[in-house]
Amino acid sequence: MMMNRCVGTNKLAERIALRYSIPISLIKIVKEEEIELVCDDYGKDTFDGLTVYEQENDIFYIHLNTARGNRPDKVKGRFTLAHELGHYFIDHHRTALINGIMQPHYHNYNQFGNNEAWIIEREADDFAASLLMPWSLLKPDLQNEKFGGSLIKELSGRYNVSFSAMAIRCLKCAYIPMMLVYAQDGKVKWQLHSEDFPFWQLKHGNTMVPENSVIGEYFCTCDDCNCRKDEVVFAGDCFDTFNQEQNNLQFYEYCLPYKNSAFSMFWQKN
């Protein structure tokens, strides 16, 4: 059963997105809103994006840090810019900017917390995902083809977002039960799973990647021959299972390696 509801969807962003075509031209939105976009080198250890309100001239400035790879036409920069547009469009964010309360920030999936700043950042991320990948358009695009790594790759190209952003969107919109894993040097940096995915932990928890998964094989042997394709894996090799019977359940894994890091998407084989 496919679910229709998307919990991470920001209605305001979806409404704005539907005025444009895919891929969403953020530059057009910036121009129409008369926002000043400044792309510059602000140093590697600073911020990705920053929105500032200038009281005297009643102008919003969005700064994109090119030193951290945020170019407005590239997937990372587009997500950062869409996130900053969230701060501009969402009412209480905008008010905080005008009152000078909002501080510059990083985008980092490793940072988890429960304070107000964290909630505001997640709201801006949901806005960004909804603006770049409006669910009302993405859902039929997904339904038209068989789910898999190549579909996510194709759609990420069409929407001009990263593979991981597209996969996270599918997970948050509860399109199918799935687990996503990002690892560096063989260590799990973060893991996300949908509520209805049968396992909530990887085989070794959030420490080392499971050695007999595709992502594990990539780190253990530097062999990427099973990467970039839908590969059949067994639950017992990948997840923290409860009994022997579950170990034989089959899943697909699509692993996308890049230098010392890799991203894997798991979903159930029907």
Which of the stretches 1-9, 118-126, 127-135, 252-260 binds Zn ion when contact is defined by CB under 5 A? Answer: 118-126
**Full DSSP string of 85-121:** HHHHHSHHHHHHHHTT----B---TT----SHHHHHH
Residue 124: CB minimum distance to Zn ion, A: 4
Dist CA 124 CA 129 (whole Å):
9
Residue 267: CB minimum distance to Zn ion, A: 30
Residue 13: CB minimum distance to Zn ion, A: 14
Closer residue to Zn ion, CB minimum distance, 14 or 121: 121
Taking CB under 5 A as the criterion, which residues in 26-65 touch Zn ion? none
Closer residue to Zn ion, CB minimum distance, 124 or 131: 124
Q: What is the dihedral of CA 45, 46, 48, 49, to 10 degrees?
A: -170
Closer residue to Zn ion, CB minimum distance, 104 or 148: 104
Closer residue to Zn ion, CB minimum distance, 121 or 126: 121
Residue 50: CB minimum distance to Zn ion, A: 8
Residue 127: CB minimum distance to Zn ion, A: 10
Size of the site for Zn ion (CB under 5 A): 3
Instruction: Tell me whether residue 154 is exposed, middle or buried, using C-beta atoms within 10 angstroms of its C-beta: 0 to 12, 13 to 18, 19 or more.
Output: middle
Which of the stretches 103-111, 140-148, 218-226, 236-244 binds Zn ion when contact is defined by CB under 5 A? Answer: 103-111
Closer residue to Zn ion, CB minimum distance, 88 or 147: 88
Residue listed under structure tokens 């590239």: 74
Closer residue to Zn ion, CB minimum distance, 79 or 199: 79
Contact (CB, 8 A) for 84 and 62: yes
**What are residue 54's DSSP bridge partners?**
59
How many residues are present in the chain? 270
Dist CA 92 CA 241 (whole Å):
43
Select the residue whose beta carbon is closest to Zn ion and give its number: 124
Tokens of 100: 């000078």
Contact (CB, 8 A) for 17 and 25: no
Window 60-99: contact mask with Zn ion (x via CB under 5 A) = ----------------------------------------
Peptide bond before 23: cis, by omega within 30 degrees of 0?
yes
- Choose, by CB under 5 A, the member of 30, 50, 124, 168 that binds Zn ion: 124
Residue 102 touches Zn ion, criterion: CB under 5 A: no
Helix pair 149-159, 163-172: axis angle to 10 deg: 110
Closer residue to Zn ion, CB minimum distance, 108 or 136: 108
Binding interface with Zn ion (CB under 5 A) = 105, 121, 124
